[in-house]
Chains A and B, each alone.
Chain A
Amino acid sequence: MSDVVEKTLTALPSLLSLDSQPGSAKLSSTSKLGNLVRGITELTSKHEEEKLIQRELASIKEQVSSPNTSMRQMKELMVRAIYCEMLGYEASFSYIHAIKLAQQGTALEKRVGYLAVSLFLNESHELLLLLVNTVLKDLQSTNLIEVCMALTVVSQMFPKDMIPAILPLVEEKLNHQKEIIRRKAVLALYKFYLIAPNQVQHIHNKFRKALCDKDPGVMTASLHIYLQMIQENPEGYKDLTASFVTILKQVVGGKLPMDFNYHSVPAPWLQIQLLRILSALGKNDQSTSEIMYDVLDESLRRAEMNHNITYAILYECVKCIYTIHPKSDLLEKAAKCIGNFVLSPKINLKYLGLKALTYVVQQDPKLALQHQMTIIECLDHPDLIIKRETLELLFRITNAQNVTVIVEKMLDFLRVSTDDYTTIDLVGKVAELAEKYAPDNEWFIETMNTVFSVGGDMMQPDIPNSFLKLLSEGFDSVEEDRKLRLFAVDSYVSLLQGEPGKLPQRFLQVISWVLGEYSHLRAELQPSTVMRLLSKLLDTKNTSSETKTWVLMTMTKLCEGAAGVSVAQEVSEAYSSSLDTVLRQRAQELQHLSQDSELRARVVPRDAGLEPLEVDSSLSFLDGFVSEALAAGAAPYKPPHQRQEELAQAKALSLEPYGLSLPISISSCSIADRQSPTLLSMSSGLSGDSTDLSHKGGSTTLKLDGVKRVWGKEGYLAQREPVEETAQVEVPSPFRSPSQQAEADSSHSQTPTPVPTPEPTQERQQLASSLFVGLSSQSSVCLMGKSESAPQRFKRKAKSPSSSSGASEQISNSLVSAPSTVDNLLCDNLLDANISSELAVSSPTQTSRLSQSLTTANGTCDVELTNTKGSNPSLIRDISVAVAADSTPHEDPDKPKDLCLSSHLPAELSGFSHSEITPLCSNQSLDLSACHVQQKDSLVLVVFIYNSSYSDIQQILLELDSDDLEVSGVCGSPVQEVGSQSVAVCQYSLSVKRPSVHVEVGGMVSYQLPVGTPQSAQFSYRLPLTSFIRPLTLSTEEYGTMWLAFSHDTKQNLTLINAGHESLAATLNVLKKKLQLHIVEIIGLEGIVACRLLQDQPCLMHCRVHAGTLAVWLRSPVPDLPDCLMYYCQRALQEH
């Protein structure tokens, strides 16, 4: 290659001078781009620039559309258009010309065309489709440069749907002679894998070939794909571990050609990629980890040069060592390495050192202790980034003893931080720590106050939610609860008396809720006083209407006594004519309830936060109302989708466009369908299940995201025990005086601190002792194997069991009264309906009044309520995953030959059900038969070659081909010869390219007898599509979203198996058994079923019992699949 390089380099100057845009700036004075650029730099104002560019664009536009413009000029114009776009001016008129240039230009012009396309258009741009043909052409070109360009543009941007069109050509390039083409092809396939993993699944074998490529560059490129695949499924690639280790060993040992070195480090990019792969493979796997210990050790040892690139390798190495199964001496070395990073004067290394510490500190808190002085220094670092990273580290080592100091530091940072993302993140962390380790009530409430005021309205909504939940659910001690709530009330009242206008909306909502629930705890506080404070909020201009609703709700709870009622009347009058319907509704409620104290006591009972509320989500209390209405001649309610369907049936011709009707009907169906408990659980905004997780583990362990604690007593800790013990002695106990602590610390810390302690250092050490207190004791606890539960203050009570089956759903009463979802009108109505459902039990007259007011608030409400008439939701949850059941006939024992053939089935396939072994073709010397084996994720075609002659048959070549199927050989080298009277077995993995009812594989076998000419025979094998169908397990919600996304559908009425009122379940079970479907859920007269075609192409089925038949509706993203499946459903039911 080197002479090519030499030649090119020497040719460069002359080439450049030929070019209209020479390679150096001083020559560019003549070019038009040069003029443009210079023109712009001479301008003084933005306005002038705009004028100039517009003029420029106008002239470009004129020239590109002129037919006389040559491609060479076009190239030049394109460059200028790119420049204008880069400056932020639109030049969309040139897009089409860019594509044209890529199509028609030669070499450099084409290249500029491709560049312009990749800069102008993004993946979804419609013009991109025009590029596909050009790319196809260039991929087939004999000019290497054109192939390279096509591969480059393909990896940059290519419409996902068009990948199949060019995939074979790119695949072909994997075998190209030039390594640069192979390398680019591999990277292009990597890109395809990222955007559409399904499409490249079948070429995994070829990736292996790329991994073994003789060119290290191609091998490096293939590692990108492997890293991705291994991270997704480490189990599948464990066998490659040894190969990766060998490669790394060779690289580290300097076995690669010199030109792979970067600053005399051998192929650093390759090394780092391999280290990442190894850590993904060795994670939680002792035996795999053991293979790599040696090479990791060597990598650590070899990387000793003082250069960024070696540090990059070291950093990756350390991360790997701490990710895989631990080994003590490696860990020691890694720890030392982290020390070098942290103590480095280079700020970048320090930053990475902190990152590494953060990564490992949960496994090895000692390490943080060792570097405590450095950490303290970093905490005061002028660079905010370093500071931020230090806080992240401190967050990981927080415990009950150091929480106040750490949270203080975090809040300090929050007050100066201007970055929203950081604020949101940090606020969440403070809230988490406060909840976990709060030392006392005052501190907790005050910290949360700061969190709410600093976090403002940007913070995650689950923070206020879980705070309120904590307050309302309470802890183990009633007295503690009371104190906490009381303190919160006091603090909020004083806040409201101050300047509440400056507080964020979320905080105001929290305040108003807490005051509504708990202000009665403070006996001397008059409810009317609180109400007046709150009404001040209503008058403030920048209070959002959502907050106003919260305030009105609170008032509803508080309006007691004459003073309170008069405030309530005032407020409700003001808002009962509000344009905001939710607000108006609340005002109405306030008005009614403030006048009727008896009803109010029932609707908003005081202190009822803990009692779960029975919610009759079937709204059975309305049955009476509905039957009355029906008796009076009202038409029975039909859900919208049913109406639509009946409408469609009534017409002879369905004129509605396909696909359009469905999204509407399904979404409205899910709204109307009150029987589904999922809706409730989704919409109750306060239930915050995700936040619960962090509280359930009530011990000292921190929430470790992403990092698994791989430490075992027998592994790393046992050998470190003596060290830990000494550390334990030295650890400052919290009972010692601060000066003693500092003393103990300075003697303990291994960082080189000067012995005569100057004043500022003293301060730092005090800070250190308060920050790192409890760290080592914590680890010694786990050393001795005790699991001491932390002195955690706010330990949640065990959650009341919530029933998820049946129609009733429990919602905590307090949650209902909090309008957590005011912005969601529907949910709000739902909650109101729940309130009225309670009332319905006792006072029907009141209810009707209330529900009437509901009706006025939202007109659709009553329609939906009637929906539940006589509903008796029986939710049959089919949890069991459908087991692979073969629908095709089993082998026939009467056929002895079959029997003996089936004994030749490869061992790894024998556990699976296989079809009958059918003869393919036979002649005097050779008998071919085949069967297919259904595995969980694949279908294997097994071909048996039986040599019935008395001589060996040689040079057997078996070729399979199919229009509908993708055929790939499974394992080993193809059979070449078969001894006499013996059987050879070939395996092929099949996947569906294009679904049809029966798919067929054609094939040809050619062979040669010892004497005579080569012979051949043709055969074909047919198999039903059902062999490729597997159950698809998903939840109802997932089903819902998928359903809407699919475009190919078909509808048909099928016969129902008559089994009384269970007929739907019986029918579906038959289908499940015969076709391997998965029944997602059966609700009443409707059932939803899911399956997938192998290689993850789903097909969804929706069935409804209607007039004695089963209305089946199939949808899938794959064309023809619904039709084929419908055929099999019909057959399965007929056969039954």
Chain B
Amino acid sequence: MRFLLLFSRQGKLRLQKWFTPMTDREKKKVIRDMMTLVLARQPRTCNFLQWRDLKIVYKRYASLYFCTGLDDQDNELLTLEVLHRYVELLDKYFGNVCELDIIFNFEKAYFILDEFLMGGEVLETSKISVGVSMEEADTLQETMEEYMSKPAY
């Protein structure tokens, strides 16, 4: 996965994540192109696009578009499910997530993403909740010693 963008139907960027190095200019170009490409798509068309040498997978959830760029060998359907899982995670955390949640707490959305994807690859394939626990465990200030003294699960 090369990048992940979240933007609204009005073309406002809500979240951006770049997994490969890119200059600011390239990023701007990608964002602009993605918005024009994806927002112009009719409903009930294919969720996959070709942009330059990248495969674009996008999905609309309510008023938000989730859009990713893939390498040639990546699996489109799987990526669609990655997006879905991310929405599930957001949902779990915010409780019936809506666009406003992501606008006002975008840094949380980033943290959840960081726990879920790392370097463009899925990090946490299992337990939905572990991501969330790691996410908020930081406020618990748990140290290694505490972890070790805990009963094994």
Write the residues of chain A forming the contact surface with B, with a CB cutoff of 8 angstroms. Answer: 1-5, 8-9, 11-12, 15, 18-19, 21, 23-25, 28, 31, 33-34, 37, 79, 82-83, 86-88, 106-108, 111-112, 115, 119, 122-124, 142-145, 148-149, 152, 155-157, 177-178, 180, 183-184, 187-188, 190-191, 194, 216-217, 220-221, 224, 257, 259-260, 262, 267-270, 272, 276, 308-309, 311-312, 315-316, 347-348, 350-352, 382-383, 385-386, 388, 421-422
Cβ of B80 to closest chain A Cβ, rounded Å: 6
A5 touches B127 (CB 8 A): yes
- Contact A316 B75, beta carbon cutoff 8 Å: yes
Q: How far is the CB of B70 from chain A (nearest CB, A)?
A: 13
Given contacts A8-B140, A267-B125, contact A262 B81 (CB under 8 A): yes
Closest chain B residue, CB of each to CB of A270: B125
Q: Are A187 and B77 in contact (CB under 8 A)?
A: no
What are 23 A-B pairs with beta-carbon distances under 8 A?
A: A1-B127, A5-B130, A8-B137, A8-B140, A15-B139, A28-B105, A79-B107, A86-B15, A108-B138, A115-B114, A119-B16, A144-B143, A184-B123, A220-B125, A221-B123, A259-B126, A260-B125, A268-B81, A312-B80, A347-B44, A348-B47, A385-B50, A422-B50
Structural contact, B76 and A217, CB atoms closer than 8 A = no
Of B15, B44, B73, which is in contact with the most chain A CB atoms at under 10 Å from its CB? B73
Q: How far is the CA of A92 from the CA of B140 in the complex (A)?
A: 32
Q: List chain A residues, Cβ under 8 A from B95.
A: 24
The 7 closest A-B CB pairs, nearest first, are A312-B77, A25-B100, A312-B78, A5-B129, A28-B104, A8-B133, A383-B45
Tell me the nearest residue of chain A to B99, going by C-beta: A25
User: In the complex, A326→B138 CA distance in Å?
Assistant: 52
A8 to B132, Cβ gap below 8 A? Answer: yes
Chain B residues bordering chain A, tally (CB within 8 A) = 73
Is the C-beta of B110 less than 8 angstroms from some C-beta in chain A? yes
Q: Among the listed A3, A316, A348, which residue makes an inter-chain contact with B48, where contact means beta carbons less than 8 Å apart?
A: A348
Assembled-state Cα–Cα distance A122/B17 (Å):
12
Chain A residues with CB under 8 A of B133: 1, 4-5, 8-9
Q: Nearest CB to that of B59 among chain A residues?
A: A348
Contact of B2 with A by CB under 8 A: no
Kindly state whether residue B91 has any CB partner on chain A within 8 Å: no
The residues of A that contact B130 with a CB separation of less than 8 Å are 1, 5, 180
Chain B residues within 8 Å of A156, by CB: 19, 119
Chain B neighbourhood of A270, CB < 8 A: 125
As a 0/1 sequence over residues 70 to 106 of chain B, the CB contacts with chain A under 8 angstroms (1 = contact) are 0001011110110001000000011100101101111
Residues in A neighbouring B143, C-beta threshold 8 A: 142-144
Is the CB–CB distance between B81 and A108 below 8 Å? no
Alpha-carbon gap, A224 to B24, bound state (A): 28
With a CB–CB cut-off of 8 A, which chain A residues contact B121?
A: 187, 190, 221, 224
B144 interface residue (CB < 8 Å to A)? yes
Tell me whether chain A's interface is mostly helix, strand or loop, or mixed: helix
CB distance from B29 to the nearest CB of A (A): 13
Task: Give Cα A258–Cα B75 distance, bound, in whole angstroms.
Answer: 24
Report the nearest B residue to A349, measured CB to CB: B77
Whether A115 touches B138, Cβ cut-off 8 Å, given contacts A220-B125, A315-B75, A386-B46, is no
Query: Which A residue sits closest to B147, measured CB to CB?
Result: A144
B30 to chain A: which residues have CB within 8 Å? none
- Contact call A15/B94, Cβ cutoff below 8 A: no
B13, B75, B129: residue with the most chain A Cβ atoms closer than 10 Å: B75
Interface residues of B in 110-124 (CB under 8 A from A): 110-111, 114, 118-119, 121-124
The reply to whether B136 and A12 form a contact with Cβ atoms under 8 Å apart is yes
Note all chain A residues with C-beta closer than 8 A to B108. Answer: 23
Complex contacts, A191 vs chain B, CB 8 Å: 119
A222 to B: closest C-beta gap in Å: 11
Give the chain B neighbours of A18 by CB distance below 8 A. Answer: 139
CB < 8 Å neighbour of A143 from B42, B98, B141, B153: B141
* A351 in contact with B126 given A107-B141, A144-B144 (CB within 8 Å): no
Least Cβ distance of B131 to chain A in Å?
10
B139 x A190 contact (CB < 8 A) = no
Minimal Cβ-Cβ distance residue in A for B77:
A312
Chain B residues positioned under 8 Å from A33 (CB to CB): 104
Residues of A close to B124: CB separation below 8 A: 217
Q: How far is the CA of A184 from the CA of B118 in the complex (A)?
A: 8
Asked if B13 and A87 make an inter-chain contact with CB atoms under 8 angstroms apart, the answer reads yes
Q: How far is the CA of A148 from the CA of B127 in the complex (A)?
A: 18
Distance in angstroms from A310 CB to nearest chain B CB is: 9
Q: Are B144 and A142 in contact (CB under 8 A)?
A: yes
- Smallest CB-CB separation from B82: which chain A residue? A269
Contact assessment for B16 and A86 in the assembled complex, using a CB-CB cutoff below 8 Å: yes
In the bound complex, residues from chain B placing their C-beta under 8 Å from that of A12 are 136
Contacts of B114 in A (CB 8 A): 115, 152
Pair A352/B76 contact, Cβ less than 8 Å: yes
Known: A107-B139, A351-B48. 8 other contacts (CB 8 A): A2-B153, A9-B132, A25-B103, A86-B14, A155-B118, A188-B118, A262-B81, A351-B76
Given contacts A4-B150, A122-B22, A260-B125, contact A24 B101 (CB under 8 A): yes
Q: Residue of A at shortest CB range from B148?
A: A177
Complex Cα–Cα for A178 and B133 (A): 14
Closest chain-B Cβ to A843's Cβ sits at a distance in Å of: 53
Output the nearest chain A residue to B146 by Cβ-Cβ distance: A144
Give Cα A190–Cα B122 distance, bound, in whole angstroms: 12
Q: Which residues of B contact A269 (CB under 8 A)?
A: 78, 122, 125
Interface string of B9-42 (1 = CB under 8 A from A): 0001111100101111000100000000000001
B61 contacts A by Cβ under 8 Å: no
Please determine whether A23 and B78 come into contact, CB atoms closer than 8 angstroms: no
Known contacts: A108-B138, A259-B126. The answer to whether A21 contacts B105 by CB under 8 A is: yes
**B22 → A minimal CB distance (Å):** 7
Q: Which residues of B contact A382 (CB under 8 A)?
A: 42, 45
In the complex, chain B residues whose CB is within 8 Å of the CB of A143: 141-144
Smallest beta-carbon distance B138→chain A, Å: 4
Rounded to whole angstroms, the CA-CA distance of A122 and B22 in the bound complex is 7
* B49 pairs with A385, CB closer than 8 A: yes
How near does chain A come to B14, taking the closest CB pair, in angstroms? 8
Assess the B126–A15 pair: CB atoms within 8 A. no
- Least distance between B114 CB and chain A CB atoms (Å): 5
| B83 nearest CB across to chain A (Å) | 11
Please name the residue on chain B nearest to A114 by beta carbon. B114
Return the chain A residue nearest B104 by Cβ. A28
Which residues of B have CB within 8 Å of A11?
136, 140
Q: Which residues of B contact A262 (CB under 8 A)?
A: 81, 85, 125
- Chain B, residue nearest A267 (CB): B125
Which chain B residue lies CB-closest to A183? B123
Q: A9-B129, A122-B21, A309-B78 are in contact. Are A25 and B144 (CB under 8 A)?
A: no
Measured between beta carbons, the chain A residues less than 8 angstroms from B126 are 216-217, 257, 259-260, 267
User: Quick check: B118 and A385 within 8 Å, CB to CB?
Assistant: no
Q: A216 vs B130: C-alpha distance in the bound complex, in angstroms?
A: 14
Question: In the bound complex, how far is the Cα of B1 from the Cα of A747, in angstroms?
Answer: 45
How far is B140's CA from A106's CA once the two chains are assembled, in angstroms?
12
Q: Is A276 in contact with B136, judged by CB distance below 8 angstroms?
A: no
In the bound complex, CA of A312 to CA of B134 (Å): 29
A5 and B78 in contact, given A111-B138, A144-B142 (Cβ under 8 angstroms): no
Q: How far is the CA of A224 from the CA of B16 in the complex (A)?
A: 23
Instruction: Report the minimal beta-carbon distance from A183 to chain B, rounded to whole angstroms.
Output: 6
